[in-house]
Amino acid sequence: MHVLVAPDKFKGSLPAVEVAEAIARALTDHGHTVELCPIADGGDGTVDAAVAAGFDRCALTASGPTGEPVDTSFARSGDTAVVELADVCGLVRLPGGVLEPYAASSYGLGEVVRAALDAGVRRVVLGLGGSASTDGGAGLAQALGAALRDADGAVLPPGTGGGGLPAVATVDPPSGTAAEIEVACDVDNPLLGPYGAAAVYGPQKGAGPEDVTTLDAALAHWADVVGRELVEEPGAGAAGGAGFGLMTLLGARLRPGFDLVAELLGFDDRLARAALVITGEGRLDAQTLRGKGPAGVAARARAAGVPVLAVAGRVDLAPDELAGAGIVGSAALLDLEPDLDRAQAHAAELVTRSVDQLLRTTR
């Protein structure tokens, strides 16, 4: 058979490219032909997926979430660039892993977008997953030329985080951003309130209950300054309110993450050549069914009449739940190696073994 291999990353163990290669080893041992298509849904690994699909990697140095320089990159093909928040100013870039709910900023994301625009692209695709900040997109707007001014008219320093938003009195909007900006976003949170950016995502960024209240008020003030029309828009609360800033100040359009990435990867054309698809991620669970990459792969494959198998570190879904998502068989690494540390350390080998067993037992 010709098999399309389209896994997401195994977080903490293997990037999607290495997962795909490990799956391919089992398939070639069984005599199948293989096409690799590692995927992402807008979070970490989105740029890597684009590069694996043929985009060029463009390296640069930009500001991390608390201003320190980090080496990062964007992917480019023709006049389209793919930019990933997680790799420049996401949680994984916090120095020492120390959470900074007030100081962390999206400034570095704006720097990468600016670099892509300066390179001549006319379409920018942004992946917002893994944000470390709750700044409403203020930082990225500053990097793109916006001037945030206090009540005296003085310009606030670059990288204003959520803690600095109450000082903003006026905003000179960014300029020179006429490119089409599309955002890969799978959350539908508004900007404010109990389901907003601060309340839902602030705790994972280090915000306690009082901090959440303070940051929600800061975002409300930010909305009062730049315009409240889109505060209830689904996705406005994405990435600490960066979705709101992108829509309000840059006219960005939010789209389902995997759908946008699949379009960039030419997924449907690859699927048309396949007799079988194998996907996977670190953990197949209820979150998978809410629009994550493997669920997107399975939905498109089922619509095309192509069966799907899945491999994961752990499978928490019952067979009927998997079947309902379009996955006809699955295997878990922890079934071969119950010790989590050893399973993570030997993930590539275990992926190959799991797929080998899956191929032998699934008809």
**Residue 81 domain boundaries:** 54-257
Give the three-state DSSP class for 356.
helix
Give residue 51's pLDDT. Answer: 95
The reply to whether 146 falls in a domain is: yes
State the virtual CA torsion across 347, 350, 356, 358 in degrees, nearest 10.
Answer: -90
The reply to whether 210 falls in a domain is: yes
Choice among 201-215, 263-277, 286-300 with the minimum mean pLDDT: 286-300
Domain C-terminal end among 200, 227, 257: 257
CATH at 232 = 3.90.1510.10
State whether 114 and 178 are in the same domain: yes
Contacts with 283 (C-beta within 8 Å, 6 or more apart), sequence order: 312, 313, 314, 315, 316
The reply to whether 339 falls in a domain is: yes
State whether 18 and 73 are in the same domain: no
Task: For residue 280, give both structure tokens.
Answer: 């996977």
Domain C-terminal end among 198, 223, 257: 257
Question: Mind spelling out the 3-state secondary structure of 34-65?
Answer: EEECCCCCCCCCHHHHHHHCCCEEEEEEEECC
Please compute the mean of the pLDDT values over residues 213-238 and round it to a whole number: 97
CA–CA separation, 291 and 284 (whole Å): 12
State whether 78 and 168 are in the same domain: yes
Give residue 31's pLDDT. Answer: 95
State whether 85 and 179 are in the same domain: yes
Give residue 363's pLDDT. Answer: 65
Residue 124 has pLDDT above 70, yes or no: yes
228 closest CA partner among 244, 217, 216: 244
The reply to whether 44 falls in a domain is: no
Q: How many domains does the chain have?
A: 2
The reply to whether 49 falls in a domain is: no
CATH at 10 = 3.40.50.10350
The reply to whether 175 falls in a domain is: yes
State whether 192 and 317 are in the same domain: no
State the virtual CA torsion across 242, 247, 249, 250 in degrees, nearest 10.
Answer: 100
Residue 122: C-alpha distances to residues 38, 113, 146 (Å): 25, 11, 20
Residue 175 has pLDDT above 90, yes or no: no
Residue 177 has pLDDT above 80, yes or no: no
State whether 71 and 6 are in the same domain: no
Give residue 176's pLDDT. Answer: 63
The reply to whether 45 falls in a domain is: no
State whether 244 and 186 are in the same domain: yes
State whether 160 and 222 are in the same domain: yes
Domain C-terminal end among 216, 236, 257: 257
State whether 243 and 346 are in the same domain: no
pLDDT digits (tens, 9 = 90+) for 73-97: 999 999 999 999 999 999 999 999 9
Give the three-state DSSP class for 240.
helix
Residue 72 has pLDDT above 90, yes or no: yes
pLDDT digits (tens, 9 = 90+) for 2-59: 999 999 999 889 999 999 999 999 999 999 999 999 999 888 899 999 999 999 999 9
Q: What is the mean pLDDT of the chain?
A: 95
State whether 185 and 306 are in the same domain: no
Residue 290 has pLDDT above 90, yes or no: no
State whether 129 and 62 are in the same domain: yes
pLDDT digits (tens, 9 = 90+) for 321-360: 999 999 999 999 999 999 999 999 999 999 999 999 999 9
The reply to whether 356 falls in a domain is: yes
State whether 149 and 241 are in the same domain: yes
